[in-house]
Every structure is written in C-alpha cells, then in structure tokens.
Amino acid sequence: MSREGRVIVTGGASGIGLALVENLLNDGWQVIAADIGEQAIEAARGQLAAFADKVHFARVDVSDEAAVISAVEAWAEEFGPLRGLVNSAGIGAVTPAFETTVEQFRRILDINLVGSFVISREVARAMKQTGGGSIVNIASVSGLVGSLGRTAYGSSKGGVIQMTRILAVEFAEYGIRVNAVAPGPIETPMAKAMHSAVVRKNWEERVPMRRYAEPQEVAGAIAFLLDEAKSSYVTGQTIAVDGGFSIAGLLQPE
C-alpha cells in the first residue's frame, strides 16, 4: 500500500527509531529519518538500502532550535505534506540525585523534552496548513513511576507525557492527534550501554512478562498511533509498552 505524505522519525538511525523507520517503509510510508549521529546514519542507510528512494536521512540536533526550524521548513517544501512525527531522539542516564549536576539535568531536559517540543511545534505548524496528522512522543516507564537514579531522565519523560496531553488539546482543532508510548526495557544500543547484568536481572524480576522487548514491539504500537485509519479518535494518551511493568503488584507467590 502506498500512503500520501511523509513521516518524520527523530532518532531514526538507531534502536526504536530505526526499527520504526523499517516498519513504516514496509507499510508503504515515505520517511524522513533525522538523527544527530553521523555513523549511525551511515549504518542505517546501508541497512535500508532497498528503500533508498523512500527514505531521506538528515543530520539534525533536536536541541538546536534554529536547525530544527529550518529543517522542518525545508522538508515541508520538498517532501510535504508531513503526516506524522515520531520523537524517538533521546538520551538517558542513571545517576543518583546527589551526583546529578545541573548541567546533566539541563542537557537531558534539553534533548528529551525541549527537543521534542520544538520539532512538534514546527511540524504542527506545517500539518495545520495541510489537513492535520499524528505526533507520537516516546516517553518511558521512568516517566510514569519513580525508579532510582532517574531524577533527570524520569523528569524529562514525565514532562513528555504531560506535554503530550497539552499539545493534544491545543492541536485537536487542526486535525492533529498527539499521543505517546512509554516503553519498558527494550533491547537497543541505549539499553545495552546503560544496563549492567544486575540491572537486567532487576528488570526481568519486575516485568510480569519476564523479558526485555525487541524494538519492533514498540514500533508496532507507534505505527498504530500514526495510522489515521486505526486510531483516529485516540489523542492525548500514553500507551505503556512494558510487558506489564507499570501495572504490576506483587509478583512472588505468597
């Protein structure tokens, strides 16, 4: 099936973003994969060579407001209409509050929260002119519950969840839906870098499904939220894709 318009995926050269780009291309979408990592972009370009005419790779830092404004303007002009935006660009850290510097805290907010805001605002401006679209933010279970060491990361993701609700309300009249997914532990380069063997064991004990998810399992939920034919009345929601982590109570037999 071929679909009208483009979907932008930030952080589209790695992990959840890359899995989503592949999923969308297989589903007939044309995609703009925006990422800051030059090597990751080159590797993703190679991996998706079969779709070379359907995917445009761009090097953009989502925390650079001026760069985002001019990139979105250029994409709308060259590839419009823009029908979807997925904010998967993000950084993480697990640092105790006493050791978290203001500089680290601001950096995480700047990319995960402010970066998602700026590109959402700019893409929504374009969508408003062309009949609407769907925005999906990637939050985290760390934005839903309090886990150790996530003062900055969890606050950024909690902010993403609340921003999702507010943008959903503000943009509804323009036919723009805004939703989020909150992943639990997902097998991506970020998780591989951040999770020690002890951390992995902790997750496996606390997740009712007792395992990490593959990035494609998150991509499926995002694709649902992007698809007007499947989720046309869903807006302002956060879907946890977490194997039951955020709803679980006691997990050991009494």
Which positions are annotated as active-site residues? 153
> Long-range pairs for 73-79 at CB < 8 Å and ≥24 separation?
73/122, 73/126, 75/6, 75/8, 75/32, 76/126, 76/130, 79/6, 79/30, 79/32
Q: Which is nearer to ligand NAD, 92 or 132 (CB)?
A: 92
Distance CA 232, CA 249 (A): 32
Put residue 213 in one of left, alpha, beta given phi > 0 → left and psi -120 to 50 → alpha.
beta
* Nearer to ligand NAD among residue 17 and residue 132 (C-beta): 17
151 binds ligand NAD (CB under 6 A): no
Confirm or reject binding of residue 37 to ligand NAD (CB under 6 A). yes
In the complex with ligand NAD, the residue whose CB is nearer, 5 or 37, is 37
Nearer to ligand NAD, 11 or 243 (CB): 11
Binding residue for ligand NAD, selected from 134, 188, 231, 235, defined by CB under 6 A: 188
Separation between Cα atoms, residue 172 and residue 124, nearest integer Å: 11
Q: Which one among 20, 24, 30, 63 touches ligand NAD, defined by CB under 6 A?
A: 63
User: What's 74-112 look like in SS3?
Assistant: HHHHHHCCEEEEEECCCCCCCECHHHCCHHHHHHHHHHH
Selected from 134, 140, 235, 238, the binder of ligand NAD by CB under 6 A is: 140
Near ligand NAD by CB under 6 A: residue from 21, 55, 91, 239 = 91
Stretch that binds ligand NAD, among 75-83, 88-96, 165-173, 225-233 (CB under 6 A): 88-96
**Which residue minimizes CB distance to ligand NAD?**
15
Binding residue (CB under 6 A) for ligand NAD from 72, 76, 92, 171: 92
Q: CB nearer to ligand NAD: give 171 or 203.
A: 203
Token pair for residue 34? 């925006």
How many whole angstroms separate alpha carbon 94 and alpha carbon 86? 24
Length of the chain: 254
DSSP code per residue over 219-233: HHHHHHHH-HHHHTT
Q: Does residue 138 touch ligand NAD according to CB under 6 A?
A: yes
* 35 lies in the binding site for ligand NAD (CB under 6 A): yes
Provide the 3-class DSSP secondary structure of residue 146. Answer: coil
What is the residue type of 220?
A: G
Q: Give me 190's structure tokens.
A: 């970020």
Per rule CB under 6 A, count of chain residues that contact ligand NAD: 31
Q: If binding is defined by CB under 6 A, does position 8 make contact with ligand NAD?
A: no
List interacting residues with ligand NAD (CB under 6 A).
Answer: 10-11, 13-17, 35-37, 40, 60-63, 88-92, 111, 115, 138, 140, 183, 185-186, 188-191
